[in-house]
A and B are shown apart, each in its own frame.
Chain A
Amino acid sequence: MRRLFRFSQLGLVVLLAIFTMGSADTAVRYNDLGHKMMCVCGCGQILIECNHLGCPDSDRELSELRTALSQGKGDTEILEAFQAKYGPTVLAAPMLTKFNIAAWFVPPAVLLLGIVGTIALVRKWRLRTVAMPAASQVRGFDRIRDQIRKETEL
């Protein structure tokens, strides 16, 4: 059990490392930020994916993004600057501020609650269920029972 716990800890650390070890290369950041913003012309497309020839807005926005990156600004700073200039709808997803936090946390919270609730419910049902007779002493009983259940699909 202790070993399992240690493995879980190690797994968690690896996962955190994976999520935090992003490359800070400018081209990668340009691509990443370009995917985090919308074209404001009304086409409803992600900024870097806007495919309108002669779009009045996407080229300007992308050039502003390049300038901001060359000035060494941070990602959050750039996103906030765009939000201040074009309004909150320029961001392809809400930032973690005030009420917008709810957008990000409610779905995982609902899933988590559902999982916890389901486990609690199953435990409650199991407690209510009439106790099963003691397992047979026949050798390989578990294997035979599993095979029977699997093959007959009771």
Chain B
Amino acid sequence: MPAFGSFALLLALALSGYNLIAGGIALRQLATGARGRVSPERLAETARRAGIGSFFAVTCAAFALVWAAFTNDFSVSYILHHSNRALPGPYKFAALWSGQEGSLLLWAWLLAAYGFVLRVRHKVDVKLTAYASTILSGIQIFFLLLLNFAAPPFALVAGTVPQDGFGLNPLLQYPEMVIHPPMLYLGYVGFSVPFAFALGALMMRYPGEKWIHITRRWTMVTWLFLTCGIFLGAHWAYSVLGWGGYWGWDPVENASLMPWLTGTAFLHSVMMQEKRGMMKSWNMWLIFSTFALSILGTLLTRSGLVSSVHAFAQSSIGTWFWTFLVIVLAVCLFTFVLQRDHLKSEHKLESLVSRESSFLFNNLVLLAACFTVLWGTLFPVLSEYVQGNKVTVGAPFYNRVAIPIGLFLLFLTGIGPILAWRSTSFKSVRKNFILPVVAGLVTAIVLIACGVRPWQDQGAFYSLMAWSMGALVVTAVGSEFLRGAGVIARHTGQNLFASMFQLTRRNTRRYGGYIVHFGVVVIFIGFAGSAFNQSAEQELNFKQSMTMGPYRLVCQDYSQDSNANYDTEYAILDVYRGDKKITQLAPEKRFYQASQTTSTIVANHSTLAWDLYVIYAGKDPDNGQPIIKVFLNPLVAWIWIGVIIVILGTFVALTPNMTAAFAASRSRVPVGEAPALAASKGGD
């Protein structure tokens, strides 16, 4: 099987090479009108088929590696180091991305899969797809070169093959780890597709904005994957690392956030290009930057450039990534300089108080946030270069610098939707803003009355701001929904909820977007709760108890267990609220035999108000007493609920619009009146 896998990777490289060269020649011939022995159309078709073939070849390689994991083939060095006989099946599958070589293979496979879909659907726009396919094959070649020469996943063990493997990193033996990395990679890799389309459109001087329509779904789906990947990672950190938090501003976390921020900016500003033919150069560079940041993220993870808790993924392939990044940026810059006259705006901004301006400021703030994260991540390296010593840039820096930017962004989330395109009159601004601003102020007053003291510490101040802004945004978005639904209700006689549903169906992109904004507010509400986290640590013996907030934890038992993969020690704790027992928690500490390492399994009782987060920290080495650490983390559940709302909103935005005529027939309104109803259907 290792030989089969290695051969499949070589074949994939050859096919991708053919795709790039033949595709490049064909496109050149099409552009210049030159003809060779084979017509450019036929040559481009063979290149497309080679690209499809490379997907099957990479799939075979990925299958070979998974097969080796499931059959305990420890002659393969990668399997020896990332699996063992007792490892449960799902984690053997996850071994595919648990190390350097495997995760590169996953990247190559996902890229090939995206390329496969793109090439199969080439009839959407044959020429543009041919450009995108050729560019994608260039990216694919880079990863296949890495897999064939720098980090081969099928390298064999020298000498005697051990009977058992060294096992999977215990931190990765958690259900979410089976889906978090693929989600994140689907996001990283997915941005290659809009990047390839954008670069292709620029190269061929694509007329009009159709390429944006073609890539819109790709971009949104990719953004959704990256969002899910980031929050699955946050949930994993919360559930496994046992420090009571979900985001530590680790360089690798930051690396995933940066392309997300620029990708979000692109999703917003691209609407200005679609609707008003503006910001073409800006959008081009946004998608270039998003792709470059995806590569930079991988570079940071792999090169060891910055210190990270993800150090297990470090290796020497950083140079390869640097080279690739420089080539990508050089190609982008060269193409842009050559074709920049194609990107002239058709309109200019007419007013600072308009939807366009709000998009512009939204972009600015998102990019400032991205720059802050990049600056904080790379500052230790810069400091070492300038001052000769490294410094740490951790949570206090980001809390002080990034949170105000985040709050400004939240504010823009609220005001953007209530501004009209081109310009908004002062009277209209006043009318639309009064209710949201009042909602924000009332929320602030109520919170202060309830005991939030923003003058006592910075965390409370930021939390108050976040909740007040949240109220402002929800009111602004809600009033937009109600206004539109009111128009439909008046015309159709439906109730308000049915009208809101129909309104959303008529313009899924706009109202799906509002649902996403609502989800973002819910996430911010959850983030703001972290200012009021409490924690306590105590030696807790049999029948002893400790109190945390409204809860009392009583220790019922300590026990041990063992299976082929790990030994475990756990505490059994009854949780009381008042005199009523509400649940039983069993935090664990595991010892993995193959890797000889320990891992914490957190027990969490989650409610809308707070999480009771309990860790069994093990026994005190001095007196042998068991130690329990308890956190009371307010509003954490809101973060995960917010993410679900964001996902739902994105799905709504991806759904095709219901036509006005269909809507009229559904609501039993004569078709002749449908155009009037269509007035309530706006753009984005």
Enumerate chain A interface residues (CB-CB to B < 8 A): 17-19, 21-23, 28, 32, 35-36, 38, 43-46, 49-51, 53-54, 87-94, 98-100, 102-104, 106-108, 110-111, 114-115, 118-119, 121-123, 125-126, 128-129, 132, 142-143, 145-146, 149-154
Contact = CB atoms under 8 A, between A and B. Distances in A.
A151 B679 contact: yes
B394 A103 contact: no
B479 to A, nearest CB: 12
Contacts of A54: 618, 621
Interface residues of B, number: 72
Interface string B347-381: 01111100001001100110110011001100100
Given A46-B394, A111-B368, 10 more contacts: A45-B243, A49-B244, A53-B627, A89-B390, A89-B391, A89-B392, A92-B395, A114-B367, A123-B352, A151-B487
15 contacts: A21-B455, A22-B456, A53-B621, A89-B391, A92-B392, A93-B396, A94-B379, A111-B364, A114-B367, A122-B349, A123-B352, A125-B350, A129-B350, A142-B428, A153-B510
A151 to B, nearest CB: 5
B679 A92 contact: no
A38 B379 CA distance: 17
Interface string B212-246: 00000000000000000000000000000011110
B387 interface: yes
A153 to B, nearest CB: 3
A114 to B, nearest CB: 5
B422 interface: yes
Contacts of A98: 387
B393 A51 contact: no
Given A108-B401, A122-B352, A154 B422 contact: yes
Given A17-B455, A150-B420, A115 B376 contact: no
B375 A21 contact: no
A152 B679 contact: yes
B392 A38 contact: yes
A9 to B, nearest CB: 18
A128 B428 contact: no
Contact of A114 (B250, B368, B393, B615): B368
B618 A35 contact: no
A88 B387 CA distance: 11
B197 interface: no
B267 interface: no
Given A51-B617, A118-B361, A150 B308 contact: no
Nearest to B383: A99
A91 B680 contact: no
B427 interface: yes
Nearest to B360: A118
Given A21-B455, A146-B428, A154-B422, A51 B349 contact: no
Nearest to A92: B394
B307 interface: yes
A126 B365 contact: no
Contacts of B496: none
A88 B389 contact: yes
B678 to A, nearest CB: 9
Contacts of B248: 44-45
Contacts of B425: 142-143, 145-146
B349 A126 contact: yes
Contacts of B420: 146, 149-150
Contacts of A154: 421-422
A38 B394 contact: yes
Given A125-B349, A142-B428, A151-B682, A92 B244 contact: no
Contacts of A119: 352
Contacts of B620: 53
- The residue in B376, B383, B454, B620 that gathers the most chain A C-beta atoms within 10 A of its C-beta is B383
Nearest to A87: B389
A142 B389 CA distance: 61
A88 B422 contact: no
Interface in B413-429: 420-422, 424-425, 427-428
B604 to A, nearest CB: 15
B461 to A, nearest CB: 6
Nearest to B368: A111
A146 B250 CA distance: 46
Nearest to B251: A44
A99 B390 CA distance: 12
B309 interface: yes
Contacts of A142: 425, 427-428
Contacts of B312: none
A108 B627 CA distance: 43
A83 to B, nearest CB: 10
B394 A93 contact: yes
B589 to A, nearest CB: 8
A89 B458 CA distance: 24
Nearest to B365: A111
Nearest to B372: A107
A93 B393 contact: yes
B458 A152 contact: no
A118 B364 contact: yes
A126 B351 CA distance: 7
A48 to B, nearest CB: 9
A88 B424 CA distance: 51
Nearest to B683: A153
Nearest to B419: A150
Sort A-B residue pairs by CB-CB distance and give the 9 closest, nearest first.
A153-B683, A153-B682, A125-B348, A93-B397, A92-B394, A111-B368, A107-B372, A93-B396, A149-B420
Contacts of A122: 349, 351-352, 357, 360
Given A88-B391, A100-B391, A51 B629 contact: yes
B176 interface: no
Nearest to A141: B425
A99 B618 contact: no
B304 to A, nearest CB: 14
A28 B376 CA distance: 26
Contacts of A99: 383, 386-387
A123 B349 CA distance: 9
A23 B457 contact: yes
A103 B402 CA distance: 12
B684 interface: yes
B405 interface: yes
Contacts of B379: 94, 102-103
B243 A94 contact: no
A129 B348 CA distance: 7
Contacts of A123: 352
